[in-house]
Amino acid sequence: MAAADLVEYVAKSLVDDVDAVRVETVNSEDGTIIELHVAEADMGKVIGRNGSVAKALRTLLKVTSARSGEPVSLEIV
């Protein structure tokens, strides 16, 4: 899925521990949920100050989901 690849690419660009980045896609009745797993030390980098990076990631996902017509949400675990 293109959205999961996008999230993985952006996350790996932000974190120090690239090997700890893992993206899982879960299909539910409400749409697709993308779970982003990162190292505990890199959690702040992925979330950003006041959630700014997480908001930007979710905005990118809204754009990609508009193309496919299926709702996509992001969970940072």
pLDDT of 64 above 90: no
pTM of structure: 0.88
Overall CATH class of domain 2-76: alpha beta
Structural contact between residues 73 and 34, judged by C-beta atoms closer than 8 angstroms = yes
pLDDT digits (tens, 9 = 90+) for 2-31: 889 999 999 999 999 999 999 999 998 888
Strand residues in 3-47 grouped as ranges (E): 22-28, 31-37
The reported pLDDT for the residue numbered 57 is: 94
Q: Tokens 């675990």 appear where?
A: 77
Question: CA–CA separation, 37 vs 23, rounded Å?
Answer: 6
How many residues appear in the chain? 77
pLDDT of 66 above 90: no
pLDDT of 44 above 70: yes
